[in-house]
A and B are shown apart, each in its own frame.
Chain A
Amino acid sequence: QVQLVESGGGLGKPGGSLRLSCAASGFTFSNYYMAWIRQAPGKGLEWISHITDSGSGIYYADSVKGRFTISRDNAKNSLYLQMTSLRAEDTAVYYCARYDVSGWDSTWFDSWGQGTLVTVSS
């Protein structure tokens, strides 16, 4: 079965950096788009980035563009999120999710990891 396991969360300082990883198994990783979605404490879900199957297409929410970098290593079945210039408002649970598409008008996140908590505080 599909399994996504995030790691790398923890305490980061304002202006600092953290790198999140997501280990995928149970499916052909290189065939799927992948995404990072976050959820601030007590708040809703926020899409922050996704990457196409080959890695040639990368997209970011305005809230993280220029500060976060998504990448993947298909040989290692792994997804990454490099987070820099951290802000207090980046405090959230970060989920790795498999992102699927049908045509131009239908997209969804069909498998999610358990999430990793990032806390930004001095």
Chain B
Amino acid sequence: SSDLTQGPAVSVALGQTVRITCQGNSLRSFYASWYQQKPGQAPLLVIYDKDKRPSGIPDRFSASSSGNTASLTITGAQAEDEADYYCSSRDSNYNHVIFGGGTKLTVL
């Protein structure tokens, strides 16, 4: 099986832009989806199908991908964006799914 690697933590000043990255061989073949999880809550889908946002997700959330790296960008981070962020994709075993280890975002 494959792995998805995320940095453990990143911080951003209020109103600034931050990028959270996810690396893995599976991303050469499959698109990543991204999830936001706040303490004590279930994960929330923020990006799917390459770069789409579910209804209700602010347009400051965007995604891109190149080679083995997928990125989630928050343009103009808000205090409410402070959370853990997870990437996910199909595994090299097509019928399995993998998650990255998560990145904790702190908004200063």
Contact = CB atoms under 8 A, between A and B. Distances in A.
Interface of A: 35, 37, 44-47, 50, 57, 59, 61-62, 95, 100, 102, 104-115
Contact of B86 (A44, A50, A57, A110): A44
A45 B96 contact: no
Given A106-B49, A107-B33, A109-B35, A45 B44 contact: no
A61 B27 CA distance: 19
Interface of B: 1, 29-31, 33, 35, 37, 42-45, 48-50, 54, 86, 88-90, 94-102
A96 to B, nearest CB: 10
A95 B42 contact: yes
Given A108-B45, A112-B44, A44 B99 contact: yes
Contacts of B45: 108-111
